[in-house]
Amino acid sequence: MKRPNIVLICADDIGFNEIGPYQGRGMPDRDVYEGERVHTPHMDAIAREGALLTRYYATSPICTPSRYSILTGRFASRSPSILEAFPPPGQATITWNARIDREEGNIGKVFKSLGYATGYVGKWHNHAPPLDIPKTEADSGDPEDPKYNTSMREAYYRRVEYLRDGFGFDHVDRVYFGNREGFPKPLQVHNLAWLAEGAERFISENRDRPFFLYLAFSTPHGDHFTDYLKKSSLLTPAGRLDEPPQSNMPPRETILARLKEAGVSAKTAMSTWQDDCIGAVLARLEESGLAGNTVVIFTCDHLARGKYMCYEGARVPFMIRWPGRIPAGQELDALCANIDLVATLAELAGGSPPPDYMTDGASFAPLLLRPGRSHEWRDHLLLECSNIRGVVTDRWKYVACRAPRKVLDAIDADRKEAEETGRKRWVGWDGRRNPHAQFETEGVRYFD
């Protein structure tokens, strides 16, 4: 049988209740939409025509380390940058420090070894050279100014060249190097149509050979109630486009009218916008005659609420469709994780990582392809984030925080100063003084 194409779609900071197939299932997530129904027909179709996983975990549920595990199949604590900062046998503090190196094996290199064309479109957030233009200049420019636009575009593509060299992807395009707010102020926008155009173009250009495409959204990332629908479709991290993206996505300006027609609240528009992008990719697969032999996955790096912890905020959405091979309508509750993706997708492609490839994961392809049969599978899973570690089983979870003394002292000093001055607390369990401490100090005070 001809080897399948693989399209891996990854959202950023999305919650279970922002995805139609997960609504009403009692998933461990605070609902940003407060019980409102969402309109996500393409996500619904993937789940209906494939498999929905209910116990799939991001082993380190924040952006960079989670993406490291997706890309490599390894725990974030194995990242060379973390091993350098925290040599074994000491405990590593896992934050946004799990960068991937060119020398490491990753999912792009695995699929290249299997003879696949490999493409990367969208958010990277796993280290890249900084923008080589002064921040004041980048933030104060006008995208309508040709000189500024040319300068930004050239600087952007110098960064893209870094990812095109040695990471295993033949095609790298439409990259968000980090969070939207890290881009120059005039270009701090989401542009899913731009990503869809890039993904569709890659599919069309590689329709005659098996391909692996990683499409990583920059959304929602907390932007559920901003004015993103009013932003120009010409604005991108690469500067201002000469013309709007040409993709199968309906214009974002039509979303509110479509939601009204469907009887769905306008505040859920972000879910539909992302679903439109998924739909554009599915439509291009259909137009190219590839839909019947393409594995399509939709997942995310971590939840928006409950991230940076080892509680059930580490559990994330995952659905997968392969017509005729993965039985439709199944629900899988086995303990699976992002570290399993490399091995799983390689097996679905009829291969495996090279013999010397180091992975902490295992392939859950047999669970997808032959449900109902007896399969040997793990009965526990390790989670790691900040100075917190967890072990999750079918029914139980053990969570421990083993913060170093210097971190405990910093937390104590910060707590006392906050009480004396009336300010918010800023030092969290990673010992860092930043707003992310609020995840731990002002959410649920698990360790106070």
Residues 129 and 162 sit within 8 Å (Cβ to Cβ)? yes
Q: Give the integer Cα–Cα distance in Å for 378 and 49.
A: 26
Stated length of the chain: 448
Per-residue pLDDT, 448: 37
Read off the pLDDT of residues 265-274 as tens digits, 9 standing for 90 and up: 999 999 999 9
| Residue type at 185 in one-letter notation | K
Q: Give the integer Cα–Cα distance in Å for 297 and 313.
A: 20
Q: Give the integer Cα–Cα distance in Å for 368 and 345.
A: 11
Per-residue pLDDT, 435: 59
* 253 CB neighbour count, 10 Å cutoff: 10
Read off the pLDDT of residues 132-159 as tens digits, 9 standing for 90 and up: 888 888 888 899 999 999 999 999 999 9
Regions of the chain with pLDDT less than 50: 442-448
CA-closest candidate to residue 269, choices 299, 240, 231, 301: 231
Contacts 24+ apart (CB under 8 A), 30-34: 30/305, 30/306, 32/224, 32/304, 32/305, 33/224, 33/265, 33/267, 33/268, 33/271
Per-residue pLDDT, 231: 92
| Residue type at 93 in one-letter notation | T
Burial of 223 (0-12, 13-18, 19+ CB in 10 A): middle
Tokens (6 digits) for 142: 């006008």
Per-residue pLDDT, 45: 98
Q: Give the integer Cα–Cα distance in Å for 187 and 261.
A: 32
Residues 329 and 58 sit within 8 Å (Cβ to Cβ)? no
Structural domains in the chain, CATH included, are 5-388 (3.40.720.10), 405-441 (no CATH)
Q: In what order do the strands lie in the sheet with 171-176?
A: 171-176, 117-123, 211-220, 5-12, 294-300, 318-321, 51-53, 330-332
Per-residue pLDDT, 27: 87
